[in-house]
Chains A and B, each alone.
Chain A
Amino acid sequence: MAIGIAFLVGSAILLLAGVNPLVAYYWLFYGAFSATSLVETFVRATPLLLIGLGLAISFTARIWNIGAEGQFYIGATITAVLGLYTQSLPQPFTFFLLLAAAGVSGAAWALPPAILRAHYGINEIITTLMLNYIAIYTVSYLLHNPFRDPVSSFPETSTLPEQIWIPILVPGTRFHMGILLAFFTVPVIYFILRRTAFSMKLEILGSGRKTAEYAGINVTRLIIQSMLISGFLAGVAGGIEVLGIQHKMRLEISPSISPYGYTAIAVALLGYLNPVLIAATSIFLGGIINGSMTMHRMANVPVGMAGIIQAIMIIFIMLGYYLEEKFATKLLERLKQ
């Protein structure tokens, strides 16, 4: 429903810009889900999925980590920098080591706002968001100065040695093992969020701090844990992007029309914090990002469309929550009478 409305509103905006919505949407879907572009859709979906899964954990506790973009950048940068120096280590080992380093650095970037929130009650939305800017400027500095590829005209590192790239699974495409790894994470997070005492702690904290303290939960520790997990997955997503796709660190590693770190917030919310739905949403939005580029090339529609469609969907999903609650209350009344 929300998707339908988002597309309807999108049509109106397209019409305003003098573009036939049907033609535009044809290219949108062609670019997203045709046989040739499907792999690219999965390439886009992978960081969205990993970050979105991490956010699902902190959002369940109603800890609003908006800093995934920065955590993603830091993870990616650390991977690339370490990658330049770890050529001698044997394969799979290097790969996992680098991804672990990416995750740890993403988590480390999430740590200060986590501590500030947990110990001093400082709004994490603002601090994580500010840290995004700080991360991007820091990375910009690193890419312009110490780690710049001397022969490139762009702010980026040299290309990493081929032996540490994540292996491609389908030759001739960019379908690499990291994509599978990301999708294998879905059942793991699903299990954690559905069956464990840890998830119940998150849920209780999400419904109120006082209740959580009453339930005997160490609230400060839980806030920090949940932020670290989401930071870790965002960092890993950055590492996979570098090792699997870009093979170097670039300043534009996250698409400017729909930055991964922010789009993943939409993914998590649109997926109702449910890992399976998050997987579906990440594929859908990954497709929209790709499609909006195709749409732009073929129908001359500006790429900001992807952002508009996402945001309208979030708002209507929220409306959905509202209606659902109203409906549930009504239904209960009926049942009881």
Chain B
Amino acid sequence: MPLIRLENIVKIYPGGTVAVDNACFEVEKGEVHALLGENGAGKTTLMKILSGCLKPTSGSIYVDGRRVEFRSPAHAMKYGIGMLHQHFTLIPSMSVLENVMLGLTDQDVKKEKLLKDIERISKFLRLNVDLRSPVHVLSVGEKQKVEIMRMMLLKARILIFDEPTSSICGPDAENFLDMLKKLASEGYGIVLITHKIREALKVCDRVTVMRKGKTISTLKRDEIKDERVLLEMMLGEHFLPEVLKQPREEYETPLLIVKDLVVKNDQGVVKVNRVSFEVRKGEIFGLIGVEGNGQKELIESITGLRKQLSGQIIFNNSKYSSSPSYIPEERMEVGVAPSLSVMKNAVLRDFEREEFSGRYGILKFSKIGEITNKIIHFMDVRTPNMNLPVKYLSGGNIQKLIVGRELMRGSELLIAEQPTAGLDVRSAYHVRKNLLKLASMGVGILLVSSDIDEVLEVCDRVAVMRDGRIVRIFNASEADPKRIGMYMLAAEVGLSSQ
């Protein structure tokens, strides 16, 4: 009997999006089960249902053969189901020990026993941190391990990992996958949510492929002879070709010059340390790095949201003296004003231009409506009408609105942070295609991403950032995922292999 079984799960979000459509899934004790699918295929939603974060619209969950209904993640945890999300569920200002203790119920706290358990698990996970240090000083990998430790202390039997290697790369990712195998051999049931076929094949005992909310098929590892079978299952008949870079005119004119930039974060720590680079007209310049290595602060200071300590940022654009186009990573907190209408958000950054508010600051709603319509059609934003407050749109539609607005602003420089995050395959493809199109029209693009594949797919040059410095700038021709991954990691890996 499988540890858990999901039967005919359906999830319809408010707003009518069918995220999971009649999906079935099971996990055995001691297996690594990969859940494979493109972004937006419904993997995360399905697993959030299994871990009690979301309520299914219909369908049933069985644990040890008995039907259960989860009221909350904590309730699911009582049945031994824990999930490691892409966003950490740790409180940064609190210590490791406090964070671990937070999830425990009162009866399992006996301090001596707890400390002993923590020591044992730390050894098993090879986690070596001071329990009293606050979580925000830990590396991404360490944070992951703290979360795993918490779930183990809670006596989880099923561990679900949502794209765990997306924020760690190269050798670290390999180690992480080894750890998953080790956990499985200890008897845990492991679910690995991923969109990377190779990663899935490396560790899994079984693979379930999802597409458009449906579970397509479940295969044993040794039944899989050819990766392409999986690829076809993932993509279906709507096989999207890789976005093709076409040879473009090469310009030498730099649009953005950053020289010896030094920036501190809110805590006063230097996060950007003498960084210099330039983005030229008509090129897509990729910026990649493990989260927390200064990319965020760098972009914030380029876009004027954060003050620089020293160094220079020079914009060389002739058309507008105003700010460059900018797709921020935080959509709801930065990218839109949630309580304002779709229409007002469509001109969020340009409403003071004479085009929209005349010479005397009086809004021209007909003009604003026109541009809103253009954006809506261009990006296929689904909204009942233009006067609806943006907060009632789905996350994907909000992202489309932001991307559309920034792509159509007509600036000569575009800064895009994770522009395809949260978009379905088709929309993400559309965005990438348009980035290339803009570049061919002479726009300079600074693309910040943690997705190596995406960066390699569209960029002409890729800068790798680590510890606040740009450690290497690759030309597209010489870059491959492995080498980029190595540069993203700390020096301890050694770059002797190059």
A and B touch in the complex (CB under 8 A): yes
User: Which A residues lie at the B interface, using CB under 8 A?
Assistant: 195-198, 200-201, 203-204, 206-208, 210-211, 213-216, 328-329, 332-333, 335-337
Cβ contact within 8 Å between A211 and B384: no
Contact among A206, A208, A216 with B322 in the assembled complex (CB-CB below 8 Å): A216
Closest beta carbon of chain B to A125's beta carbon, Å: 21
Cβ contact within 8 Å between A214 and B363: no
> Contacts A197-B361, A207-B338 hold; do A333 and B333 have CB atoms under 8 A apart?
no
Cβ contact within 8 Å between B326 and A204: no
> Contacts A214-B326, A215-B348 hold; do A335 and B361 have CB atoms under 8 A apart?
no
User: Which B residues lie at the A interface, using CB under 8 A?
Assistant: 12, 14-16, 303-305, 322-323, 326, 328, 330, 333-340, 344, 348-349, 351-352, 356-357, 361-363, 384, 388, 392
Cβ contact within 8 Å between B384 and A335: yes
Tell me the interface secondary structure of chain A in the complex: helix
CA–CA, A216 to B305, complex, Å?
9
Determine the chain A residues whose CB is within 8 A of the CB of B361 once the complex forms.
Answer: 196-198
Cβ contact within 8 Å between B340 and A333: no
Cβ contact within 8 Å between A210 and B333: yes
Determine the chain A residues whose CB is within 8 A of the CB of B328 once the complex forms.
Answer: 214
Determine the chain A residues whose CB is within 8 A of the CB of B392 once the complex forms.
Answer: 328-329, 332
CA–CA, A210 to B14, complex, Å?
27
Tell me the interface secondary structure of chain B in the complex: loop
Cβ contact within 8 Å between B351 and A197: yes
Interchain residue pairs A-B with the least CB separation, the first 3: A336-B16, A207-B337, A197-B357
Contact among A207, A332, A335 with B340 in the assembled complex (CB-CB below 8 Å): A207
Cβ contact within 8 Å between A337 and B349: no
Determine the chain B residues whose CB is within 8 A of the CB of A206 once the complex forms.
Answer: 339
CA–CA, A332 to B16, complex, Å?
9
Cβ contact within 8 Å between B334 and A210: yes
Cβ contact within 8 Å between A332 and B384: yes
Determine the chain A residues whose CB is within 8 A of the CB of B337 once the complex forms.
Answer: 203-204, 207-208, 211, 215
**Can you give 16 contacting A-B residue pairs, CB < 8 Å?**
A195-B363, A197-B351, A200-B340, A200-B344, A203-B339, A204-B337, A211-B333, A211-B335, A214-B328, A214-B348, A214-B349, A215-B337, A216-B323, A329-B14, A332-B15, A333-B14
CA–CA, A329 to B334, complex, Å?
23
CA–CA, A200 to B351, complex, Å?
8
Closest beta carbon of chain A to B277's beta carbon, Å: 23
Cβ contact within 8 Å between A333 and B363: no
Cβ contact within 8 Å between A200 and B363: yes
CA–CA, A90 to B384, complex, Å?
60
Cβ contact within 8 Å between B384 and A197: no
> Contacts A196-B357, A333-B16 hold; do A214 and B340 have CB atoms under 8 A apart?
no
> Contacts A333-B14, A333-B15 hold; do A203 and B340 have CB atoms under 8 A apart?
yes
| New A-B pairs, 12, CB < 8 Å, besides A211-B336, A216-B322, A328-B392 | A196-B362, A197-B352, A197-B356, A197-B363, A198-B361, A203-B340, A203-B344, A206-B339, A208-B333, A211-B334, A215-B349, A216-B349
Determine the chain A residues whose CB is within 8 A of the CB of B15 once the complex forms.
Answer: 332-333, 336
CA–CA, A207 to B345, complex, Å?
12
Determine the chain B residues whose CB is within 8 A of the CB of A207 once the complex forms.
Answer: 337-340
Closest beta carbon of chain A to B13's beta carbon, Å: 9
Q: Which residue of B lies closest to A330 (CB)?
A: B14
Q: Which residue of A lies closest to B347 (CB)?
A: A200
Determine the chain A residues whose CB is within 8 A of the CB of B388 once the complex forms.
Answer: 332
Closest beta carbon of chain B to A206's beta carbon, Å: 8
CA–CA, A8 to B367, complex, Å?
48
Q: Which residue of A lies closest to B384 (CB)?
A: A335
Closest beta carbon of chain A to B251's beta carbon, Å: 27
CA–CA, A329 to B356, complex, Å?
30
Determine the chain B residues whose CB is within 8 A of the CB of A213 once the complex forms.
Answer: 304-305
CA–CA, A269 to B154, complex, Å?
48
CA–CA, A64 to B247, complex, Å?
56
Determine the chain A residues whose CB is within 8 A of the CB of B322 once the complex forms.
Answer: 216
Q: Which residue of A lies closest to B357 (CB)?
A: A197
> Max chain B CB contacts within 10 Å: which of A206, A207, A337?
A207
Cβ contact within 8 Å between B305 and A210: yes
CA–CA, A153 to B496, complex, Å?
94
Determine the chain B residues whose CB is within 8 A of the CB of A332 once the complex forms.
Answer: 14-15, 384, 388, 392
CA–CA, A208 to B392, complex, Å?
17
CA–CA, A336 to B339, complex, Å?
20
Determine the chain A residues whose CB is within 8 A of the CB of B330 once the complex forms.
Answer: 210
CA–CA, A208 to B322, complex, Å?
21
Closest beta carbon of chain B to A72's beta carbon, Å: 29
Determine the chain A residues whose CB is within 8 A of the CB of B339 once the complex forms.
Answer: 203, 206-207
Q: Which residue of A lies closest to B16 (CB)?
A: A336
Closest beta carbon of chain B to A314's beta carbon, Å: 20
Closest beta carbon of chain B to A323's beta carbon, Å: 16
CA–CA, A329 to B322, complex, Å?
37
Closest beta carbon of chain B to A229's beta carbon, Å: 14
Cβ contact within 8 Å between B363 and A196: yes
CA–CA, A211 to B326, complex, Å?
12
Closest beta carbon of chain A to B361's beta carbon, Å: 4
Contact among B16, B303, B323, B333 with A337 in the assembled complex (CB-CB below 8 Å): B16
